[in-house]
Amino acid sequence: MTLLAFHDVFLSWPSLLDGFAMTIMLTLVSSLLGVGLGTLCAWASLQGPKFARWAIRCYVEFFRNTPFLGQIFFIFFGLPALGLKMTSVTAAIVALTINLTAYATEIIRAGIEATPRGQFEAAQALGLRPVQAFFLVVVPPAFQRVWPAMTSQLVIILLASALCSQISVAELSYAANVIASRTFRNFEAYIVVTVLYLMLAILFRELLAWIGHRLIFGNFAMAGQR
């Protein structure tokens, strides 16, 4: 037996492929939901009533200052005690989304606060409602300022999805655990999955850079100048 006997690991390629697809699905769904909800929470934290601002601040501080693994466990194992049961995949998406939303709220809020107040006032002077002014005039330049930070946070969420294996979500790290237990090739299994995570993170970062170039700094930016 050789040390780097990858043959047995590669024979389990269907499990790796399924795990790869699950990781992508978890990342894309939670990213879309998290950024969308983060934008709404950022608006409410700045323009909403005092109670809403206080509630969002508590939410952000709680989820940014507690371990993500504990959040997953609470959602999947704790909430059923209150009558709220979820499948492992649903619980994983909820956990990833609410965690990302907390970070996205602060990232987007920082971008909004850096936007000159005059842009908002000019939009209102043109007859736009506050909500229209926010999403059409304030949000585009705010996203331009914070897109690099948002990109990093989205890649972190991709990597954090590995913790979802702890509630039996069949993503990449779960596939690695299964393959290692079946083949007893722990070193080889985890090396392969680590390389897959690295490739996936690089590809995701490149995708986000392309989105930033085409939408955030392109059409999206032009929308904010109208």
Give dist(CA 105, CA 44) in Å, integer: 10
The predicted structure's pLDDT at residue 120: 67
Model confidence at 2: pLDDT above 60: no
Three-state DSSP at 83 gives coil
What confidence tens digit (pLDDT) does each residue in 148-198 have? Answer: 999 999 999 999 999 999 999 999 999 999 998 888 888 889 999 999 999
In which residue are the tokens 């507690």 written?
66
Burial, 2: exposed, middle or buried (Cβ in 10 Å; 0-12, 13-18, 19+)? exposed
Model confidence at 139: pLDDT above 70: yes
What confidence tens digit (pLDDT) does each residue in 21-53 have? Answer: 999 999 999 999 999 999 999 989 988 889 999
Give dist(CA 118, CA 120) in Å, integer: 5
Burial 118-150 (b: 16+ CB within 10 A, else e): ebbeebeeeebeeeebbbbbbbbbbbbbbbebb
Instruction: From 22, 21, 10, select the one nearest 183 (Cα to Cα).
Output: 10
CATH superfamily of 7-225: MetI-like (1.10.3720.10)
| Per-residue pLDDT band at 10 (split at 50, 70, 90) | confident
Mean pLDDT within 121-138: 74
Mean pLDDT within 103-132: 80
Torsional class of 93: left (φ above 0), alpha (ψ -120 to 50), beta (otherwise) = alpha
| Per-residue pLDDT band at 226 (split at 50, 70, 90) | very low
Task: Select the more confidently predicted residue: 68 or 134.
Answer: 68
Give dist(CA 129, CA 131) in Å, integer: 5
The predicted structure's pLDDT at residue 164: 96
What confidence tens digit (pLDDT) does each residue in 54-112 have? Answer: 999 999 999 999 999 999 999 999 999 999 999 999 999 999 999 999 999 999 999 98
Give the end-to-end CA distance of the chain in Å, rounded to a whole number. 67
Contacting residues for 33 by C-beta, under 8 A, at least 6 apart? 93, 97, 100, 101
Instruction: From 191, 202, 199, 193, select the one nearest 162 (Cα to Cα).
Output: 193
Three-state DSSP at 167 gives helix
Distance of CA 155 to the CA centre of its chain: 7
Model confidence at 4: pLDDT above 70: no
The predicted structure's pLDDT at residue 39: 94
The predicted structure's pLDDT at residue 1: 45
Angle formed at CA 123 by CA 120 and CA 127, multiple of 5 degrees: 135
Residue type, 216: I
The predicted structure's pLDDT at residue 134: 78
- For residues 201 and 159, the answer to whether their CB atoms sit within 8 Å is yes
- For residues 30 and 100, the answer to whether their CB atoms sit within 8 Å is yes
Burial 79-104 (b: 16+ CB within 10 A, else e): eeeeeeebebbebbbbbbbbbbbbbb
Does the predicted TM-score (pTM) go above 0.85? Answer: yes
The predicted structure's pLDDT at residue 135: 77
